[in-house]
Structure formats: C-alpha cells, structure tokens
Amino acid sequence: MDKAEEARRLADRIAIDDRIAAVRANIAQLTEQAAGMSGGATEELIASRIEHQEEMLANLLAERARLE
C-alpha cells in the first residue's frame, strides 16, 4: 500500500470514528430522554429512533472493520 492510499484509509477511519462517536452520543441522549418521559406514542417514537441509531452504529462498525 502506498503512502497516499494509507493516508486515505486513515482519513476514512477517522471520519468513521467521528460518526460512530456521534451516533453513540445520540443513543445515550435518546436513552436519557426515554427515561424521563412516559406515554405510549412518545416511548414508541424514541424506541424507533434508538433502533435506527443502533442500526447506523452497526453499519459504521462494520465499515470500520473493513478498513482494518
């Protein structure tokens, strides 16, 4: 692997790591919101948003693993 390819892979890895951190922060925030709220529709909405964020996280982790 040449230096340019190595630098690109490192930049990709850093970008993915940043996105992973953001998604994890979103999940933590949504979990905190869920703990403080009650009501069927609200809980369902937050659960759906958490599920979506967890799917995004799984995809990002898989993408990062492919770069290693």
Domain tally, the chain: 1
Whether the pLDDT of residue 40 is over 80: the answer is: no
- Check: CB of residue 26 under 8 Å from CB of residue 53: yes
Of 37, 30, 35, nearest to 51 (Cα)?
A: 30
Domain that holds residue 38: 3-67
Residues ≥6 apart with Cβ < 8 Å to 61: 20
Position 36 scores a pLDDT of: 81
% residues pLDDT > 70 (the chain): 97
pLDDT confidence band for 48 (50 / 70 / 90): very high
What is the rounded average pLDDT of the residues 30-49? 84
